[in-house]
A and B are shown apart, each in its own frame.
Chain A
């Protein structure tokens, strides 16, 4: 090969490679609606204090004439993580993203003189049914500012429903059994999760952005942390409820 031709190849190949690289690099950094809005995931572990994990003692000074057996194993989650809700505070991006999400029809069952589940997170606009599955009367009511209602007394097999159109906490009680209580947590958006029996939670499909994550428990102050969700990425965030020193932490 003549030296001139060889020199041409020597210069041409790096030049093409460089041009190719220059062409390719800006292409990745160019705004791309599909890639930048790829939703992310928030996941992590919830730690709760041993004090918070204790189940309350049930006692009635004057027992019912016909008391009902408590829920059987498997009918009710007994771990306290079931009573924690991890959710994202609403931002314009979340509100926009949730518009396609339909309001859900949900249930809070009265079984074994217990509301199941004890904590029910719902999206604003949802309807919650309160079916009575006990062979005795119940009278579900709430006096909260979120939603005030009294469903009256109804027997086994009947159900009454309530629409929750305002976000907030709606403690629910039974007029007949003062030790029955539950909470409907009405949230502005569907980006929430209840941890599993190991305390692991995951919220998926989150539009990229900066958010405030809230861990809520009825007997604790809300725990808030900031988090940034990047497109297509999964962010790990562990939260302790309530906040405490590590050496005092329970399960």
Chain B
């Protein structure tokens, strides 16, 4: 009996400690839902040319894309949440229908209860360097495409973030490069590297940000073509980025600039690249808005052809996308956008200059599955 008593008290003690650690002790008396499922459905039509490196779809024939992104979160306690984002996509390519699904994100997030700006999350997270990524979902992206170079990534890692006064910060360790060259013939491998970010907001409508990362950008398949004694992890990218956001009234302005240096096998000098984009959105009426994004990318095409055969060449191109959106409802919108990519010079590594254009139409609808359930219950209850 004594043993059982001790065990009970130990269990009670452990339970209390666990409750305190998880923040259960501070739960409010109000009943709180602990689970949600939300998502976005996108349907897209694209009419592109047939030879653009970055824009062509379906060999230039009219193509469609259907996409569902579902995210779910469970509140372990007021302080801890686990969440996951699943994406399923179907599209036609060269006359055949292709579909794929993937767990894009899954992580646990801790939010300090009395310091809500402080968070820690670990798992497969959104790449922290590219500030555009926060707006990549179709409900936030005012256009249809994503800016070249600044693509959304989902590395595995952990990050902390927060703010104090007019400053904010993020620090992360992630296993993939957050900025990937658009023209790299080797699939990047996984290796942890730091990502740091700082922000300063002199006034509410303006924020300047700065970010930095350094780490390998090649992958396993490059190892056999490297000088003796070196591995792909010895070839780093060094990325320094600056960004800004400004908004006032019906105007929103976003931009980011990165300068990246790449160590290239058998090359004496590093390859310098620079990319930026500036995006402007203006809301004309409660339902209508227009947006334009222009980016300039001075990248490097890095080609590994097996053996010790490495080549690289500068690729300089402009990327313009202009479009308009119409809100059918607060959760539903229709967008049309025209995108054009122009390369300045002939790029032999890419088989010549490959300019391109795309005309796209996107219907997107954001939903909350709980509200569907509520409506069903309400109608059956009456």
User: Interface of A with B (CB < 8 Å)?
Assistant: 49-51, 53-57, 59, 61-63, 65-70, 78-79, 135-137, 141-143, 148-150, 152-156, 171, 173, 178, 219-221, 223, 242-244
Q: Is A62 a contact of B134 with CB atoms below 8 Å?
A: yes
The CA of A66 and the CA of B71, in the complex, are separated in Å by 22
Choose among B71, B161, B329 the residue that contacts A61 (Cβ–Cβ < 8 A): B71
Report which B residues bind A (CB closer than 8 A): 28, 30-36, 71, 73, 75, 81, 83, 85, 105, 109, 111, 114, 116-117, 119, 126, 133-134, 137, 139, 161, 163, 168, 199, 201, 203-205, 207, 247-250, 252, 283, 285-287, 327, 329-330, 366, 370-371, 374-375, 377-379, 381-382
A61 close to B85 (CB less than 8 A): yes
Q: How far is the CA of A229 from the CA of B276 in the complex (A)?
A: 70
Q: A60 → chain B, closest Cβ, in Å?
A: 9
- Contacts A54-B33, A61-B85 given; indicate if A178 touches B139 (C-beta within 8 A): yes
Verify A55–B31 contact, CB threshold 8 A.
yes
When the two chains form their complex, are residues A62 and B126 in contact, meaning their CB atoms are under 8 A apart? yes
Q: Which B residues are in CB contact (< 8 Å) with A56?
A: 33, 36, 370
**Cα distance A148–B327 when bound, in Å?**
12
**Contact in complex: B119, A243 (CB < 8 Å):** no
* A-B residue pairs, 3 tightest by C-beta: A150-B286, A152-B249, A155-B204
Which residues of B are found within 8 Å of A173, using beta-carbon distances? 330
**Which of B75, B161, B366, B382 meets A57, CB within 8 Å?**
B75
In the assembly, what is the distance between CA of A66 and CA of B133, in Å? 16
Q: How far is the CB of A154 from chain B (nearest CB, A)?
A: 7
Q: Give CA–CA (A67, B377) in the complex, Å.
A: 33
| C-alpha spacing A50/B111, complex, angstroms | 28
Q: Are B379 and A50 in contact (CB under 8 A)?
A: no
Chain A residues within 8 Å of B201, by CB:
66
| Contact B31–A53 (Cβ < 8 Å) | yes
Query: What's the least CB distance linking B84 to chain A, in Å?
Result: 10
C-alpha gap A51/B75 in the complex (Å): 18
CB contact between B31 and one of A50, A68, A135 (< 8 Å): that residue: A50
**Given the contacts A56-B33, A242-B381, A244-B381, A66 and B285 also touching, CB distance less than 8 Å:** no
Chain A residues, CB < 8 A from B36:
56-57, 59
Chain A to chain B contacts (Cβ below 8 Å), 13 pairs: A55-B30, A57-B33, A59-B75, A59-B81, A59-B83, A61-B85, A62-B126, A66-B163, A78-B28, A78-B30, A143-B286, A219-B371, A221-B378
Interchain CB contact under 8 A, B377 and A51 = yes
CB distance from A78 to the nearest CB of B (A): 5
Let me know if A65 and B199 touch, CB within 8 A: yes
CA distance A2 to B247 in the complex (A): 108
The closest CB in chain A to the CB of B331 belongs to A178
Beyond A62-B133, A65-B207, A141-B286, 14 additional pairs, beta carbon < 8 A: A57-B33, A57-B75, A63-B109, A65-B161, A65-B163, A78-B28, A79-B30, A137-B204, A143-B286, A150-B286, A153-B252, A173-B330, A219-B371, A243-B381
B181 to chain A, nearest CB (A): 25
Bound CA span A178–B374, Å = 19
